[in-house]
Structure 1
Amino acid sequence: MDPVIVAGAGPVGLALSLALAAQGVPSVVLDEGPGTDDPRPARTVVLRPDTASFAERLGCTTLRDEGVHWVGWRSLRRKQLMRQQPLGEDGGPAPLHIPQHALARGLREAIAHQPLVRVVTGNRLDSLEQDARGVSVHTRGPGATWWRGSHLVGCDGARSTVRKLLGIRFPGRTGVERHAVAALRAELPWPGEAVLHRQPPWRSGGAEVSARPLPGGVWRLDWLLPSRDELVTPDALIARLRDTLAGWCGETPPYELLDTGVYTLHHRLAKRWRVGRAFLAGDAAHLLGAVGTQGLDEGLRDADNLAWKLAHAWHHGASDTLLDSYQAERRTAVAARLRAADQSLPILRGGGGLRTYLPGGVRGHDTLLSDGHLGFGPLGAPPAYPHSPLAPPYAEAQTAVGTPPGAPVDDVRVTAPDGTTARLRERLGRGRLLVVLVAPGTGVWDRRHWLTAGVMPRLAAAVTALPVRAELLVTEGYPGASAHSVLLVRPDGHLVAAFGGVRPSALYEAADATRGGDPAADTPSVPSPSAPPSESRSESSAPSAPSSPAAPDRSVNIN
C-alpha cells in the first residue's frame, strides 16, 4: 500500500510522520527547504504536559537537553504581586519552554532512526489529484516528479499550498496582537520562573511584558505592542529592553543579546479540514496565539488525533465516520479556543461590556490571562471531545469516574500483563485501544496470581474479542473510580467510557463506536464535489507513477 504523504516539514509534519511510523505506517515528508532549521533563539514554543509527553514519546530527546520546565509562575500589575504559583510535582503541571529549532531538530534526529519515514528536501508541492484509492501529488524542484500516497496531510503552514489546491477558505482576523521579542542571556530576580508583568511602571513598559526562562541563563522577553502598525526600530527595542531590565533589577544588569524580532498574531480557522483523502493540520488549518494560547500545542494535538485514525485506515480500512471525526473533534476544539481568546481580548486589552462577567476585577483578569499561559481553563486546558462522532451511546453498564468521557485520562501508573510498569501516557500512540482495570492491591501480588484470579481471565477474553486491537493494563487506582472499574482509552489518550466491572458486550460496542463502525459498511471516500477541478479527474487519467527513466517512481520505496 502507498505511504501517507505529508506536505511540510515543520514540527507538526515531522511529528505526524513519526506518530504514523510508531503505528507501522510509512510516510513521505515533502520538505521544500534544505532539511535544516536555522537557529532563532527568540523563536520558542511552550508545550503543555500532554503535548510535551507526545513529543517525548516520538523520540525527541532535545526536550530534556534544550528545554526547561518552569519552576513557578509570577504575575505582577504595576508594582504589585498578583499571583505566585509553584509549578512541578507539588504545584501542578509545568509547561515546557524550548526553542522551536531545537524541537524540530530533535524530531529530525528521531526520524533519522526511523526507516518508515522518508524526508525529501527541495520539493514543493504544486498540484494534487485524488481518486477512490489514493492521492497523487506533483512537486517542483531539482527532482520534480509525481508522488503516490494513500492519503495526503497538508502541514505546510499558514500559506498552505494544500489548502489552496483544495479550495478551502481560511477566514478569520488579521493582526489580533503584535509583539516585540528578544532572547538574551542575563540574571533576572526569578530564576526558573515565568513572569507576566501588566502595566509595568517604567516609561517604555507598555501594556504588558513577559519573561520566560530557557536553559543556560537565557530568557525570552515579549512586549505587547500597540495595535497600530508602528515601526519598531532596533534602537527603540534596545531602549525598551534596558528599561525593562532596570525596572526589574533596580539597574540594567549585564546582558548578552542573542536575537530579536517583531511578530504579528492572526486568528484564522479553515472551513474544512478534510476533503476526500486529503487533510489539513497545524497552521494550515488554524492560526491562534493571543492571550497565551499556543498554536504549536494545537498542531501537535492535530497530529496525535489524526495519526491513529490514518493508521487504522491504512491497516484495516476506515469508515467515513472515523476519518470525519478528525475535523469534528479538532476543528471544534480549536474553534472553542479561538472563541475564548476573542471573548477575552476586550476584557484584557481595554474594557468593553464583557468585563462585567469577570468577578474580582483586576485579579479576575489576571487569573484569566495566567490560565492561558499555564494551560488551564478555556484558553489553555487540553481539549475534550464529549460530542465526538466516535462517542458510544450511553449504556447502563457505564459508570462515572474522575475523567468525563471524551476528556484526556490521568497519567496514572499502570502494569502490563508481562509485569512491566509505566505511566499511562507511555502506552499511548501505538495504534491500539487501552483497556485499564482498576484493581487495588495488585502491586503487592505476584503477577502469576492476579493474572489468573478474579475478573482478569474474563476481562482478558473480552479484550481479545474486541473488533480492534487493544492492550490490557492494570492500575492500583484511578481518580473517582471504584475497584474493578474498567476504562476504555483511545490511542491518543482520551477516555471512551468507563464501566462498572467487566461488561464484554458493552466494551465491544464502545470499541466498535471508537473505530467508527465497520469500514465495510461505507463506500470508498471520493473527492468532494466542491474540490477544485484537478481533484475530480478520473482514476484512469491520474498519473499514478511516472514511467520515464529520468523521473523514477518515488512513491513506494521508503529508505
Structure 2
Amino acid sequence: MDPVIITGAGPVGLTLALALARQQVPCVVLDEGPGKDEPRPARTVVVREDAVALVERLTGTPLTGLGCRWAGWRSTRRKQVIREVVFGDTDPAPLHIAQHELTGVLRAALAREPLVKIAVDSRLDGIEQETSGVTAHTRGPGGTWWRGSYLVGCDGPRSTVRKLQDIRFPGRTAVERYAVAALRTDLPWTDEALLHRSPPWRTSGPSAGEIVGRPLPDGVWRLDWLLPPGKDLVTPELLVNRVRETLTGWVGTSNPSYELLDTGVHTVHHRLARRWRVGRVLLAGDAAHLLGALGTQGLEEGLRDADNLAWKLALAWHHGPREALLDSYQEERRTAIAARLRAADQVLPLLRGGGGLRSYVPGSARGNDALLADGHLGRGTLGSPGTYGASPLAPEHLAGEVPVGTPPGAPVTDVRVTAEDGTFVRLRDRLGRGALLVVLIAPGTGVWERKHWVTAGIMPRLAAAVTALPHYAELLVAESYPGAAAHTVLLVRPDGHLVTALSGVRPADLYAAAEAAVGGATPPAAAESTEEEAEAGAAAGSR
C-alpha cells in the first residue's frame, strides 16, 4: 500500500503525519521550505488542553516548558476590572507558545519516526487521481513524482491542493486586523493574560478600543492592538508609539523599559472551503478554513482536523476504502467550524459596530466583554471545541442508552482508568491508537488490584462483548465519570469523542454503536483480518 502524501509542513501537517505513523501508516510530507522554521516571537498560538494533550501524546514532549500556561485571565474596561479567571486543576489554563517552538517539537519527533519521510524544497504543482491512488508532482531541486494512497492538503490559506481540485473558498476578507509586537519587559503582573478595552489613555478612534497582552516564557509578552478597518500602513513609528503608550499606561512610568523582539500585522480572514474531500484528496487546517476573530484560535481547530482524520485514514489504509467513514470527516469538522464562524458573524456587529445594543441595553457592554473573553479562553459559542452530536457515525435507536455528563459526540472527560495490564493511566493516554475504547464505570476498583475484580461481576460478560466487536477495542475501567452511574459502559472513539453511554452490559447495543462509529458494516477485507493483525496494530500504537 502506498504512503499517505501530506502537503505542508506546518503544525497541522506535521501533527497528521505523526498521528498516522502512530497507527502504522507511512507518510510523505512535502515541505516547500528547507526543513526548519524561522524563529518569530510575534507569531504565537494559544492552544487549549485537548490540543496540548494531543501534541504531547504524539511527541512524548511536555510543551509547558516551551510555552507559558497562564495563571489567570483579566478583562478590564477603562480602569475597571470586569472579569477575572484563576486557572487550576479543574479549569486548566491555555498554553501560549511561539509557533516555531511547536513545529520544532513536532519535527524532532518526526525525525525519530521511520515511517515518515519529509521531502524539503518540494513545492506541489500537480495532482493526478485514480480510483487506486494519487500521484503528485513537485518542482524544486529534487522535483519528481510521488505515488500515494491518499493526499491531504495542509498547505495553508493559499492551498495549492485546494486550487488544483477546483474547490471554492468563500468567506470574508480582513474581518479584523491587529498590530502585533513581541517584547521583553516587566509588567505589574506575571503569567496573567489580559484584555484591556477602552484604555483611559486612548480617547478617540476605532482603534482605541482593545489591547490584548499574552505572556510567554522569559519575561516576553505578545501585545496585540486592534486596528481600524482599512488598509492603512502600520509603520515602525506607529508600533513604537503604541508600545510606549501602552506600557506607560500599564506600568505608570513615563519612560518604560522594554526590548522589542519582533513586530508584525495580523489580518484575520473568515473562509470555509465548500468541500473537504474530493475522492482520495482531502483538506485540513488553513487550507480548509480560516477563522480567528474575537480572540478565537484557528490553529487548534487545525489540530482537531488532524485528530479527526488520522484514525479514519488509518482504518481505510489498513482495511480498504471506508467511504462513509471518510465522508464523515467533512461532515463533522466542517459543521463544527461553520458553527464557530456563524457565532462570530453574529457577535461581530455588536462588538465592533459602534453603539449597537450598548446604546439601548443597560449592562450590555459587560456582556460583550464576556463574549470576547469566551473567544480568548476557548469557551461558549465562540470558543468551545465542536461536538459531533449530529454525526453520520452516531448510532440510532439504542434501547440501553443513558445520559452522562458528556453528551454523545462531545470530547470525553480525562479521568483516571485502569488499563488491561492493570496499570493506572489517564483516559487521554489511550487515544490515537486506532482502537475504540470501552470504559466500564465501577466504583471501588481503583483501590483493589485488577486480579481481584477482572473475573468478577459483569466483567467477564463485558470482556466477551468487547472481543466480539467489529473493530478492535480496548477495555478500560474507571472508578467514576461525571454524571455516570455504577456499571455504565462508555464507548469512546479513537479521537476521544463519546459514541454512547449504555446502562450495563448490552452486547447488541454495544456492537451496533461500534459498527456505526467506524462507518457501518465491516467490509470483507476488514472482516478477514486476523486477530494477530489487530493485536499487532494495538502494540504498534502503544509505542
Q: With structure 1 as the length reference, what TM-score do the two structures score?
A: 0.91
Q: Distance in 2 between matches of 1:212 and 1:60?
A: 26
Instruction: Specify whether residues 17 and 223 from structure 1 end up closer, same or farther in structure 2 by C-alpha distance, changes over 3 A only.
Output: same
In structure 2, what residue type is equivalent to 1:293? T
Structure 2 counterpart of 1:394: 397
Structure 2 counterpart of 1:239: 241
Structure 1 counterpart of 2:468: 465
Contact 1:346 1:355 in 2 (8 A): no
Contact 1:318 1:516 in 2 (8 A): no
Contact 2:420 2:474 in 1 (8 A): no
Deviation at 1:501, TM superposition (A): 0.2
In structure 2, what residue type is equivalent to 1:63? L
Matched, 1:286 2:289: yes
Q: How does 1:92-241 map to 2 (within 5 A)?
A: 92-203=91-202, 206-241=208-243
In structure 1, what residue type is equivalent to 2:7? A
Instruction: Specify whether residues 336 and 253 from structure 1 end up closer, same or farther in structure 2 by C-alpha distance, changes over 3 A only.
Output: same
Contact 1:428 1:492 in 2 (8 A): yes
Query: Higher RCO, 1 or 2 (CA under 8 Å, sep at least 6)?
Result: 1
In structure 2, what residue type is equivalent to 1:165? L
Q: Distance in 2 between matches of 1:144 and 1:62?
A: 36
SS of the residue corresponding to residue 221 of structure 1 reads strand
Deviation at 1:370, TM superposition (A): 0.3
Deviation at 1:88, TM superposition (A): 2.2
Contact 1:318 1:518 in 2 (8 A): no
Q: Distance in 2 between matches of 1:212 and 1:500?
A: 45
Structure 2 counterpart of 1:330: 333
What stretches of structure 1 move > 4 A for 4+ residues in a row?
A: 351-359
Q: Distance in 2 between matches of 1:253 and 1:183?
A: 15
Between the aligned residues of both structures, percent identity stands at 69
Matched, 1:257 2:256: no
SS of the residue corresponding to residue 272 of structure 1 reads coil
- Name the count of aligned residue pairs: 521
Contact 2:417 2:478 in 1 (8 A): yes
Q: Distance in 2 between matches of 1:471 and 1:406?
A: 19
Deviation at 1:519, TM superposition (A): 5.2
Structure 2 counterpart of 1:37: 37
Deviates more, 1:310-319 or 1:39-48: 310-319
Q: Distance in 2 between matches of 1:377 and 1:357?
A: 24
Deviation at 1:352, TM superposition (A): 6.9
Structure 2 counterpart of 1:489: 492
Deviation at 1:60, TM superposition (A): 5.8
Q: Distance in 2 between matches of 1:357 and 1:163?
A: 45
Structure 2 counterpart of 1:534: none
SS of the residue corresponding to residue 214 of structure 2 reads strand
In structure 2, what residue type is equivalent to 1:168? I
RMSD: 1.6
Instruction: Write out per-residue CA displacement over residues 429-461 of structure 1, whole angstroms, 9 at most, x where no aligned residue.
Output: 000100000000001112111111111111111
Contact 2:422 2:449 in 1 (8 A): no
Q: Distance in 2 between matches of 1:288 and 1:473?
A: 37
Q: How does 1:1-20 map to 2 (within 5 A)?
A: 1-20=1-20
Deviation at 1:334, TM superposition (A): 0.4
Instruction: Write out per-residue CA displacement over residues 505-551 of structure 1, whole angstroms, 9 at most, x where no aligned residue.
Output: 110000000111135389xxxxxxxxxxxxxxxxxxxxxxxxxxxxx
Contact 2:270 2:290 in 1 (8 A): yes
Instruction: Write out per-residue CA displacement over residues 101-129 of structure 1, whole angstroms, 9 at most, x where no aligned residue.
Output: 00001100010111111101011111111
Contact 1:358 1:364 in 2 (8 A): no
In structure 2, what residue type is equivalent to 1:401? V
SS of the residue corresponding to residue 2 of structure 1 reads coil
Matched, 1:54 2:57: no
Structure 1: which 5+ runs fail to align? 523-559
Deviation at 1:319, TM superposition (A): 2.4
Deviation at 1:317, TM superposition (A): 2.0
Q: Distance in 2 between matches of 1:226 and 1:256?
A: 26
Q: Distance in 1 between matches of 2:8 and 2:15?
A: 11
Structure 2: which 5+ runs fail to align? 526-543
Q: With structure 2 as the length reference, what TM-score do the two structures score?
A: 0.94
Deviation at 1:351, TM superposition (A): 4.4
Structure 2 counterpart of 1:551: none
Contact 2:12 2:303 in 1 (8 A): yes
Q: Distance in 2 between matches of 1:178 and 1:437?
A: 49
Structure 2 counterpart of 1:541: none
Instruction: Write out per-residue CA displacement over residues 278-325 of structure 1, whole angstroms, 9 at most, x where no aligned residue.
Output: 000000000111001111011000000000000000111242110000
